[in-house]
A and B are shown apart, each in its own frame.
Chain A
């Protein structure tokens, strides 16, 4: 595993350790990282908004 992957894995692990953090946001961030798209603030905000909507629905 390269250093970039290691950092992202560590990052996701840290978010997962936070029980209050919505799982769907972690999953979407994982997808965003895996998609090789440029990770912009607009895209991260999109992930957060979707995640909050999902939590609202639940």
Chain B
């Protein structure tokens, strides 16, 4: 631990359930016990507010806000102030709604960690962590280890790669389309541009015309060929007609483009039916709703404020979000494909414009010129309609496009026929006509090759960008995964060690945190259970085991990543864990985190006592402030008492002649004592599904175990005497006869006798040297004080 910054004092004013409170803890750990509603969570919230400026469970919940619900109900936000005094240096810092603490440089490490809030663990977070999806778990871990910003960088890298992949695919498609069109021009199935020149030369050779050496020579070659046509005076006219024929000989609009538009329109129709624009607009709302309901465990719908079945609603929201994601992907695909079609239609418009500019020379084609102009305007209108359809504003008028395709192509055919007639009028020989045809063909081929070359060049650029983006993403993602897996590997030992301390001799081992390789940001937890390797822990362990696993993972991360910050807050984290395992958690915390400043809150009296027993056993009482929140009042806030052992509380009540209070307290005390005896001495008791046992159900088996298991000696004799004394009390008689103990019919002396007998039995089970509860060690056939550091452990051999 680099620094030993510790909280010395906490002053809370007008915050949550606390009007005014000062807790002097002097750098020690704080153990707080209190029933629900006594204000212990307000202390945790005040500490969280001080360091992070927020209260996590008020965040993102409709109707709840820190500004409105942070201040105590009798005060305004201006009254709120949380002041914490730190050691070393006795430095006081404070946070309110207008200012944040400004720590001195020597507290930088401490505040860098505490401001993330990753030093607090609540029970709800544990289960959420274990039960959440691998991606959410990764985010939770990412927050502890501080790699969230890198996650966003990785996401941006991935998006860039995917976008460039999309561009590459689109350009490849365009090149293929152009090659198919070129094949149609040449009348031969071409695989790529390299096949063009040999194919053209074959044609030239067939017509006994000179061959060409490269496609760049086409213009020169065409000119020379035209000169062979003898009508010198008409040469310009012939050239223009030939150029028009070049364009009109190929249908302006191919069936392929129409099919592509039809395909896009089918998707648009589907999305419009699903009202996707409206649906997608609620995706963010659904996401927020899901988060709120899940994190806050809400049973009321945040929108309509009606009662809900949380599980069912979450599952419905999840399904809707999944569907919306699919719809969103489809919408993105429509946009991408529409842009490619729009590009093609613009290319066709260019051809129409080019035809018009050449037709001008021929008054015979004035009608066709006007028609071409009309079609050009229509095409412009279609492009606009596709533009709006791609944003899902309307469908594409597909029938009109089909009709116009027919009409435009027909117009092209009619222009071709008229141009041929014009050539006939010039009086060309058959030979000359063939030469002109060949010139048209090589010029068309040249034009297509030029287009292919342009798009291929763009394709190459995008391929290069894409390759680099892929390398960047892969290098980053692999490095990140491997570093994080490295971190997991380094803490796996601690997780396993902590878990084994809590669950010795249980068939769960080899806990692994694994970065899921196939996914961008995902963490899986695996465990070997009952000999089955790499199982999801949710499949084979109880809720209590999952809670303790979550706790172990949290503690291992805290140990590794909160170096420089010894503060750890555990807010009521052992609810589902049984008394025996709670005992072990107490031991784990006090042994492994002895240098930390722990703040532990609980409503559980047994765990509170267990923690205090371990403080004594490990001789660290001096490091702890133990307190109880006994009651809470809106005007006075929590009433705090220093820790008083249960027995002292009973003695106080007996002193006040409080028969009911002392009797009930002692009954609970005895119930706890007998449960502990049964657990520590491995007493066989009849199985009960819910595991709740009464005094009457535990008393006989415990006594019988002492009789049968312990060898004859002082301890056995002493314990059996204590059992007999206890049994002889009137109160005990009531308990054992399964009647409700009618305390009012008993005298205070009779209650006192019962309490003393129970206490005396308890004392006999404790090691007189260190106060630890005796435990049966099966392998060594001994009952003894379990504290290995105990200098004079109490012990007795067993049979």
Any chain A CB within 8 A of the CB of B471? yes
B482 touching A25, Cβ below 8 Å = no
Provided the pairs A4-B150, A21-B471, A44-B160 are in contact, do residues A14 and B479 lie with their beta carbons within 8 angstroms? yes
A6 touching B483, Cβ below 8 Å = yes
Complex partner residue of A14 from B145, B149, B164, B478, CB under 8 angstroms? B478
Residues of B within 8 A of A21 (CB): 468, 471
Provided the pairs A11-B475, A21-B468 are in contact, do residues A41 and B483 lie with their beta carbons within 8 angstroms? no
* Least distance between B487 CB and chain A CB atoms (Å): 7
Any chain A CB within 8 A of the CB of B472? yes
A3 touching B482, Cβ below 8 Å = no
Provided the pairs A10-B482, A48-B469 are in contact, do residues A4 and B149 lie with their beta carbons within 8 angstroms? yes
Residues of A within 8 A of B475 (CB): 11, 14-15, 18
- B-facing mask of A1-38, CB < 8 A → 1, else 0? 01110111011001100100110010001000000000
A41 touching B482, Cβ below 8 Å = no
* Least distance between B726 CB and chain A CB atoms (Å): 59
B472 touching A4, Cβ below 8 Å = no
B468 touching A7, Cβ below 8 Å = no
Interface stretch of the complex, out of B151-159, B190-198, B686-694: B151-159
Name B145's closest neighbour in chain A (CB-CB).
Answer: A3
Provided the pairs A3-B487, A6-B483, A11-B479 are in contact, do residues A44 and B472 lie with their beta carbons within 8 angstroms? yes
Complex partner residue of A18 from B163, B465, B471, CB under 8 angstroms? B471
Q: How far is the CA of A45 from the CA of B163 in the complex (A)?
A: 10
B476 touching A44, Cβ below 8 Å = no
A11 touching B476, Cβ below 8 Å = yes
Residues of B within 8 A of A29 (CB): 472
Name B148's closest neighbour in chain A (CB-CB).
Answer: A4
Residue among A10, A11, A14 with the highest chain B CB neighbour number at 10 A? A11
B479 touching A41, Cβ below 8 Å = no
A48 touching B468, Cβ below 8 Å = yes
Complex partner residue of B159 from A15, A25, A41, CB under 8 angstroms? A41
Name A22's closest neighbour in chain B (CB-CB).
Answer: B468
* Least distance between A52 CB and chain B CB atoms (Å): 6
Q: How far is the CA of A6 from the CA of B475 in the complex (A)?
A: 13
Report the count of interface residues on B (CB-CB < 8 A): 28
Provided the pairs A11-B479, A14-B479, A41-B157 are in contact, do residues A4 and B465 lie with their beta carbons within 8 angstroms? no
Residues of A within 8 A of B480 (CB): 7, 11
* Least distance between B515 CB and chain A CB atoms (Å): 12
Residues of B within 8 A of A11 (CB): 475-476, 479-480
A48 touching B465, Cβ below 8 Å = yes
Q: How far is the CA of A45 from the CA of B461 in the complex (A)?
A: 12
- B-facing mask of A43-58, CB < 8 A → 1, else 0? 0110011011000000
A52 touching B464, Cβ below 8 Å = yes
A41 touching B160, Cβ below 8 Å = yes
Any chain A CB within 8 A of the CB of B146? yes
Any chain A CB within 8 A of the CB of B147? yes
A10 touching B483, Cβ below 8 Å = yes
B471 touching A45, Cβ below 8 Å = no
Residues of A within 8 A of B482 (CB): 10
Residues of B within 8 A of A22 (CB): 468
Residues of A within 8 A of B464 (CB): 52
Residues of A within 8 A of B164 (CB): 45
* Least distance between B481 CB and chain A CB atoms (Å): 10
Residues of A within 8 A of B479 (CB): 7, 10-11, 14
- A-facing mask of B56-86, CB < 8 A → 1, else 0? 0000000000000000000000000000000
A41 touching B156, Cβ below 8 Å = yes
A4 touching B160, Cβ below 8 Å = no
Complex partner residue of A45 from B145, B149, B160, B487, CB under 8 angstroms? B160
Q: How far is the CA of A22 from the CA of B469 in the complex (A)?
A: 12
A15 touching B156, Cβ below 8 Å = no
* Least distance between A26 CB and chain B CB atoms (Å): 10
B147 touching A4, Cβ below 8 Å = yes
- A-facing mask of B633-666, CB < 8 A → 1, else 0? 0000000000000000000000000000000000
Q: Within residues 118 to 153 of chain B, which ones have a CB less than 8 A from any CB in chain A?
A: 145-147, 149-150, 152-153
B146 touching A3, Cβ below 8 Å = yes
Residues of A within 8 A of B152 (CB): 39
Residues of A within 8 A of B157 (CB): 41, 44
Complex partner residue of B147 from A7, A14, A41, A52, CB under 8 angstroms? A7
Complex partner residue of A2 from B146, B153, B163, B478, CB under 8 angstroms? B146
Residue among B157, B164, B471 with the highest chain A CB neighbour number at 10 A? B471
Q: How far is the CA of A2 from the CA of B112 in the complex (A)?
A: 12
B469 touching A44, Cβ below 8 Å = yes
Name A40's closest neighbour in chain B (CB-CB).
Answer: B156
Residues of A within 8 A of B487 (CB): 3
Complex partner residue of A52 from B156, B465, B471, B478, CB under 8 angstroms? B465
Residues of B within 8 A of A15 (CB): 471-472, 475
Residues of B within 8 A of A48 (CB): 465, 468-469, 472
- A-facing mask of B448-471, CB < 8 A → 1, else 0? 000000000000010011001101
Residues of B within 8 A of A7 (CB): 147, 150, 476, 479-480, 483
Name B479's closest neighbour in chain A (CB-CB).
Answer: A10
* Least distance between B472 CB and chain A CB atoms (Å): 7
* Least distance between B627 CB and chain A CB atoms (Å): 37
A3 touching B478, Cβ below 8 Å = no
Residue among A25, A45, A49 with the highest chain B CB neighbour number at 10 A? A45
Q: How far is the CA of A2 from the CA of B483 in the complex (A)?
A: 11
* Least distance between A40 CB and chain B CB atoms (Å): 5
Residues of B within 8 A of A45 (CB): 160, 164, 465, 469
* Least distance between B170 CB and chain A CB atoms (Å): 16
Name A18's closest neighbour in chain B (CB-CB).
Answer: B471
Residues of B within 8 A of A6 (CB): 483
- A-facing mask of B17-44, CB < 8 A → 1, else 0? 0000000000000000000000000000
B472 touching A41, Cβ below 8 Å = no
* Least distance between B654 CB and chain A CB atoms (Å): 59
Complex partner residue of B461 from A2, A3, A18, A52, CB under 8 angstroms? A52
A44 touching B156, Cβ below 8 Å = yes
- A-facing mask of B489-511, CB < 8 A → 1, else 0? 00000000000000000000000
Residue among A6, A7, A14, A40 with the highest chain B CB neighbour number at 10 A? A7
Q: Would you give 8 A-B contacts (Cβ < 8 Å), ordered by A?
A: A2-B146, A3-B487, A4-B149, A6-B483, A11-B475, A11-B476, A18-B475, A29-B472
Known: A22-B468, A39-B153. 14 other contacts (CB 8 A): A2-B146, A3-B145, A3-B483, A3-B487, A4-B150, A6-B483, A7-B479, A7-B483, A10-B482, A11-B476, A11-B479, A41-B157, A44-B469, A45-B160
CB-CB nearest 3 A-B residue pairs: A41-B160, A10-B479, A14-B475
